[in-house]
Chain A
Amino acid sequence: MEFIGLYPTWFEPGVGSGWIIGIIATVHVLFSHTAVGAAIFFAFLASYAHRNDRPDLLEFIRRYGLFLLVFSYVLGSITGPGIWYSTTVGSPRGISALIHNFVWMWATEWVFFVIEVIGVYMLVYLASRVDRQTHLRLSIIFGLTSYTTMLVIVGILSFMMWPGKADWFTDTGVLNGFFGANTFAQLAMRTAFMFTMTAVVGGIVAAGFKDAQFKRDVARKLAWLGIGSAILGVLFFRWYMATLPETATLIMSNRMPEWFPIGVIGMLVAVAAYFIMTLLQPRALVATGAVAMTLVVLVFGLWPGEVTRESIRKPWVAGQYVYSNQVIGRDVPGRGIESEIPLLEEHGFLRTMVFLPEHLREVTPDNAVEAGHALALAACSNCHSLTPTGMRPLQDYFTADSDIDAIVDYLHAGLASGNTLYMPQIPFTDDEAFALASFISTLTLPVTDTGATVDATEPMAPTALVRSGVEANAGADSAAGSDTAGEAPSVETSGQPLAALVSSPVAPREMNP
């Protein structure tokens, strides 16, 4: 029997692996973007200070550098590998795909990391011990090096979303995967954002300056930097959106929490108001205000941004060929990679998974719930918590009056075809669907009024939703097989996209990831 290379599953029952990856990633973005932005801002300030004979600005660099040393380089340098660690346990085949495609790009970025870390220590500890020209050189090296780390990682992040060139799948050179419209749009957007972060976090240090004139100068520079970068950030965000695939736009408009756009717009307005205030009245720049703004950006800017970035590439997790549940769902001929969907359609998960107790390879009435649990771990738990807490709990998608047959119908109609927006193609065999349904039926499912009419704001019993999907889907299953794997929903029945029939009733529950 041929196996598919699924790793064991790490499942954190409290908050779920997805949240842990998200939290670490968000915190790292805060630290790293601030650090990169600050490094470039340092270079600018050092140059300005030397040209205009302003040693007081060098003092700002030294103090801010010491603060950043801890804020960004201590915490940022740990949370950076921390993302690797968390994705290693949460999405091993996803991170593996990125590493096996871009190992030398990451190694290149590592060279810059080494220079950057030595640079920040030198700027802090040698600030008053080297001559001005040498300090300026070190500042420029530090600034340029920091930015190159962003240049490298943005290419890899873009690949996660969408390989740079369409022909990457056949000609899989690094350049084709790394560079594309999304790469540059994302780079522009992140560059603007890092300057906004620099201006916000820089205020925490500038607030402490005793010299009123100096504080006013720095506050104004930070304010202009913040206002300018925020305006550019909005423009670049629109460019970024224009480079996203159609499915990403669809997911963004359908699956993200309603407060996200409001939160982001509110955050931008707050940032603009804050900087206009500190521009007009630099005395208003106080440490508590700057800390509060940092938190506002973190909660209403970074968190929605990272969650959205993580979500809009679904059902893929890397390069549009590794599904979020770790199954390879698309051929990549250039690398000899074959979709694992046909093998799953033929033999199912239980007979092809590596990490499964032998007594679960065949489903029986006695082990159905246990086998279903194993299937839920492997195929669902990356995105759906199996407990009442955590990310998108599985139990929230079904109701207490759902019987096993109804759930089985839903699993076949909604997942086997791969035409449910946001969800991977998951071709459970009949006995696997029965096992998974048996497990789901043991969860504490929410009770609803079974006679109620379907309401767009309420979850719907799969009995009702699946029936409509199955009836409409008659004869369409074969058309939605492996040949269409990885493509946007396209199978239509009775004039309606299958995805609309299958996925829309469960959508309301996904509004709160």
Chain B
Amino acid sequence: MSPEILYALRDPAGVPTQPWLFLILGALTLALHLAAVQVMLGTGALTLRGAYSQSSHWRRLAAHMLTTSKIAVSVAIVIGVAPLLFVQVVYDPFWYTSNVLSGWWVIGFILILIVGYIALYAFYWKNHHLASEGGRSGHWMVLSLALLLLVGYIVHALTNQMLFPEQWMAWYAPDGNIEPTGRQLHYSHPLRFAFFIALSLPVTGAWLLGYRRYQQARPDADADYIAWLKPLAMRLLTLGGVVSVILGVLWMLTLPEKMAWFALSPWSVLALAALLVTVAFPLLLGARIDRGYWGYATFGVGAVALIVVCAVREVLRYVTLVGSHGYDALDYTVHMDWYSLLLFLLTFAVLGGVTLVYMLTVAWQAGQTTGRYSPSPALSWMGNLSIGLLGLWILAYFAIGFYVWAS
């Protein structure tokens, strides 16, 4: 595909803001989405591991991880909407072509995800007393994890197919015969997929450290259980981190020729360093991990590392498409729309910020409270403010809408 053809596929409507903003938001939200996906997979695997254990600690962990995994699927889906939106804005020729070429799998993604999620709930419904009685009907959990991995693989293939415009015609019309059913996934890089899946090990390790710290703050904290969690979390973090780094290096060594420059670039070194810092962080903390809020810090560092990985991944995509195919995502025609940009920024930063802080603080503190929880007056005021901001938003919608309609 020549650059002219790729540009011909670009949407003629242009974009309503400078393209770099979409790239940044895409990388940021992808990192959050990946974190939720990796927690979902890791806690799901821990559920399966613990549900059938004789150890009461394992079964207790399995019960908590099952709830975590269930919620993490929802969070992964809802956060995943954002990078899905942004990739279509600046990489539309690539994303749409890749999807159409595997249309059958794109539709399959929806059905597989629904079945995978329902299977997770099926396991949950069968195991209301998981901690005390152990697991039942584990096949639902196995099915769920297998299907969730499969949807991850589909997205992996779609994301990679974007990067090979030189192959698109051969995939669409092999030997010159058009094959429009989209029943093939055309390209995958197993080591790249394995790297991103393996990251769920250290991410889940970091999550467990935070979970352990959270348990410490409960008035009915079980010191024995908390002590048992630490080596498990550390093993997942360090061994999982090493496995991830090895897979990452293998991915770099097997990059396609046009991307080979990336392997030894400062970008990949930066990503490697971020991962290693995350793995080493609890070791550097030592005994401080049980003091203050340091127990949560490893997950924070891990989240930053994921942002670095996603940003570096974006560099790989951007430079590959500019360098090998002459398509510059940053030269999209801009038709600035200040209203919708400001609406988003205000909704995100002010309304979303206040409301989410209120809700998450309530959830956090209620979880650490024995009996019925009542928030502080300041926090309750924040809840009222959230309601006020939502009311104001709706009022503004109708006021502006009626004004535009009437004028």
Closest chain B residue, CB of each to CB of A74 = B117
Assembled-state Cα–Cα distance A103/B81 (Å): 12
Contact among B79, B181, B390 with A144 in the assembled complex (CB-CB below 8 Å): B390
Across the interface, do B15 and A118 meet the contact criterion of CB distance under 8 Å?
no
- The distance from the CB of A89 to the nearest CB of chain B, in whole angstroms, is 4
Beyond A8-B101, A13-B181, whether A114 also contacts B352 by CB under 8 A is yes
The bracket for how many chain A residues form the interface is 35 or more
- The distance from the CB of A384 to the nearest CB of chain B, in whole angstroms, is 14
User: Does B340 belong to the interface (CB within 8 Å)?
Assistant: yes
Closest chain A residue, CB of each to CB of B32 = A114
- The distance from the CB of B145 to the nearest CB of chain A, in whole angstroms, is 17
User: Does A476 belong to the interface (CB within 8 Å)?
Assistant: no
User: Does A373 belong to the interface (CB within 8 Å)?
Assistant: yes
User: Does B356 belong to the interface (CB within 8 Å)?
Assistant: yes
Across the interface, do A3 and B5 meet the contact criterion of CB distance under 8 Å?
yes
Assembled-state Cα–Cα distance A151/B347 (Å): 14
Beyond A111-B351, A184-B405, whether A85 also contacts B74 by CB under 8 A is no
User: Does A513 belong to the interface (CB within 8 Å)?
Assistant: no
- The distance from the CB of A383 to the nearest CB of chain B, in whole angstroms, is 15
Interface string of A1-23 (1 = CB under 8 A from B): 01111011111110001001000
Beyond A20-B107, A89-B106, A148-B390, whether A354 also contacts B337 by CB under 8 A is no
Across the interface, do B74 and A121 meet the contact criterion of CB distance under 8 Å?
yes
User: Does A176 belong to the interface (CB within 8 Å)?
Assistant: yes
B390 to chain A: which residues have CB within 8 Å? Answer: 141, 144-145, 148
Across the interface, do B78 and A77 meet the contact criterion of CB distance under 8 Å?
yes
Select the residue from B13, B71, B355 with max chain A CB neighbours within 10 A.
B13
Contact among A7, A175, A178 with B9 in the assembled complex (CB-CB below 8 Å): A7
Beyond A100-B13, A115-B359, A357-B173, whether A92 also contacts B344 by CB under 8 A is no
Across the interface, do A85 and B106 meet the contact criterion of CB distance under 8 Å?
yes
Contact among B82, B84, B86, B356 with A84 in the assembled complex (CB-CB below 8 Å): B84
Interface string of A333-369 (1 = CB under 8 A from B): 0111110000000000000001111110000000000
A86 to chain B: which residues have CB within 8 Å? Answer: 106-107, 110
Across the interface, do A7 and B344 meet the contact criterion of CB distance under 8 Å?
no
Across the interface, do A110 and B82 meet the contact criterion of CB distance under 8 Å?
yes
Closest chain A residue, CB of each to CB of B349 = A111
Interface string of B343-382 (1 = CB under 8 A from A): 1100110011001101110110010010011110000100
Closest chain B residue, CB of each to CB of A175 = B404
Interface string of B90-113 (1 = CB under 8 A from A): 001101110111011011011001
Contact among A130, A356, A374 with B366 in the assembled complex (CB-CB below 8 Å): A130
Assembled-state Cα–Cα distance A4/B93 (Å): 12
Across the interface, do B5 and A354 meet the contact criterion of CB distance under 8 Å?
yes
One of B53-61, B132-140, B303-311, B392-400 contacting the partner = B392-400
- The distance from the CB of A42 to the nearest CB of chain B, in whole angstroms, is 14
Contact among A81, A89, A118, A332 with B100 in the assembled complex (CB-CB below 8 Å): A89
User: Does B300 belong to the interface (CB within 8 Å)?
Assistant: no
Across the interface, do B100 and A141 meet the contact criterion of CB distance under 8 Å?
no
A89 to chain B: which residues have CB within 8 Å? Answer: 99-100, 103, 106-107, 182
Main secondary structure on A side of the interface with B: helix
- The distance from the CB of B298 to the nearest CB of chain A, in whole angstroms, is 23
| CB neighbors of B among A139-164 (8 A) | 140-141, 144-145, 147-148, 151, 155, 164
Assembled-state Cα–Cα distance A92/B390 (Å): 34
Across the interface, do A85 and B110 meet the contact criterion of CB distance under 8 Å?
yes
Beyond A3-B4, A108-B343, A355-B168, whether A113 also contacts B16 by CB under 8 A is no
Across the interface, do B114 and A7 meet the contact criterion of CB distance under 8 Å?
no
- The distance from the CB of B381 to the nearest CB of chain A, in whole angstroms, is 11
Across the interface, do A114 and B79 meet the contact criterion of CB distance under 8 Å?
yes
Beyond A102-B340, A115-B356, whether A141 also contacts B92 by CB under 8 A is no
Across the interface, do B337 and A108 meet the contact criterion of CB distance under 8 Å?
no
Contact among B96, B173, B355, B359 with A7 in the assembled complex (CB-CB below 8 Å): B96
B347 to chain A: which residues have CB within 8 Å? Answer: 108, 111-112
User: Does A172 belong to the interface (CB within 8 Å)?
Assistant: yes
User: Does B302 belong to the interface (CB within 8 Å)?
Assistant: no
User: Does B314 belong to the interface (CB within 8 Å)?
Assistant: no
Across the interface, do B355 and A115 meet the contact criterion of CB distance under 8 Å?
yes
B110 to chain A: which residues have CB within 8 Å? Answer: 24, 78-79, 81-82, 85-86
Interface string of A89-131 (1 = CB under 8 A from B): 1101101110111111111101111110111011000101111
User: Does A275 belong to the interface (CB within 8 Å)?
Assistant: no
B256 to chain A: which residues have CB within 8 Å? Answer: none
- The distance from the CB of A181 to the nearest CB of chain B, in whole angstroms, is 6
Assembled-state Cα–Cα distance A123/B288 (Å): 36
Beyond A85-B106, A131-B372, whether A113 also contacts B401 by CB under 8 A is no
User: Does B260 belong to the interface (CB within 8 Å)?
Assistant: no
Closest chain A residue, CB of each to CB of B97 = A7
- The distance from the CB of A55 to the nearest CB of chain B, in whole angstroms, is 12
B400 to chain A: which residues have CB within 8 Å? Answer: 175, 179
Across the interface, do A357 and B352 meet the contact criterion of CB distance under 8 Å?
no
User: Does B252 belong to the interface (CB within 8 Å)?
Assistant: no
Assembled-state Cα–Cα distance A279/B393 (Å): 36
Assembled-state Cα–Cα distance A181/B109 (Å): 37
User: Does B232 belong to the interface (CB within 8 Å)?
Assistant: no
Assembled-state Cα–Cα distance A130/B380 (Å): 12
| CB neighbors of A among B173-193 (8 A) | 173, 176-178, 180-182
- The distance from the CB of A412 to the nearest CB of chain B, in whole angstroms, is 25
B317 to chain A: which residues have CB within 8 Å? Answer: none
B16 to chain A: which residues have CB within 8 Å? Answer: 100-101, 103-104, 174
User: Does A165 belong to the interface (CB within 8 Å)?
Assistant: yes
Assembled-state Cα–Cα distance A113/B81 (Å): 9
Assembled-state Cα–Cα distance A359/B114 (Å): 42
A357 to chain B: which residues have CB within 8 Å? Answer: 169, 173, 176-178
Contact among A5, A73, A175, A359 with B10 in the assembled complex (CB-CB below 8 Å): A5
Assembled-state Cα–Cα distance A183/B173 (Å): 42
Contact among B14, B369, B386, B397 with A151 in the assembled complex (CB-CB below 8 Å): B397
B366 to chain A: which residues have CB within 8 Å? Answer: 126, 129-130
Contact among B9, B100, B107, B356 with A5 in the assembled complex (CB-CB below 8 Å): B9
Beyond A88-B106, A96-B88, whether A134 also contacts B375 by CB under 8 A is yes
A102 to chain B: which residues have CB within 8 Å? Answer: 340
Closest chain B residue, CB of each to CB of A140 = B387
User: Does B333 belong to the interface (CB within 8 Å)?
Assistant: yes
Contact among A79, A174, A338, A355 with B337 in the assembled complex (CB-CB below 8 Å): A174
User: Does A70 belong to the interface (CB within 8 Å)?
Assistant: yes
Across the interface, do B180 and A130 meet the contact criterion of CB distance under 8 Å?
no
Select the residue from A8, A75, A89 with max chain B CB neighbours within 10 A.
A8
- The distance from the CB of A210 to the nearest CB of chain B, in whole angstroms, is 20
Closest chain B residue, CB of each to CB of A358 = B176
Contact among B12, B355, B356, B402 with A335 in the assembled complex (CB-CB below 8 Å): B12
Assembled-state Cα–Cα distance A332/B335 (Å): 13
Assembled-state Cα–Cα distance A381/B95 (Å): 21
Across the interface, do B14 and A126 meet the contact criterion of CB distance under 8 Å?
no
User: Does A481 belong to the interface (CB within 8 Å)?
Assistant: no
- The distance from the CB of A163 to the nearest CB of chain B, in whole angstroms, is 12
Across the interface, do A336 and B12 meet the contact criterion of CB distance under 8 Å?
yes
| CB neighbors of A among B318-346 (8 A) | 333, 335, 337, 339-341, 343-344
Q: Which 7 A-B residue pairs are closest in the complex by CB-CB distance?
A: A10-B103, A104-B340, A89-B103, A92-B96, A82-B110, A100-B13, A3-B8
Supply 12 A–B pairs (Cβ within 8 Å), ascending by A: A10-B180, A10-B181, A74-B114, A85-B99, A100-B16, A114-B352, A130-B374, A134-B374, A137-B386, A179-B400, A354-B9, A377-B178
B interface with A by C-beta (< 8 Å): 1, 4-5, 8-17, 22, 25, 71, 74-75, 77-82, 84-86, 88-89, 92-93, 95-97, 99-101, 103-104, 106-107, 109-110, 113-114, 117-118, 121, 168-169, 172-173, 176-178, 180-182, 333, 335, 337, 339-341, 343-344, 347-348, 351-352, 355-356, 358-360, 362-363, 366, 369, 372-375, 380, 383-384, 386-387, 390-391, 393-394, 397, 400-402, 404-405
User: Known contacts A85-B109, A175-B404; can you find 9 more A-B pairs with CB under 8 A?
Assistant: A8-B97, A74-B74, A85-B110, A96-B88, A110-B85, A129-B366, A145-B390, A176-B404, A335-B335
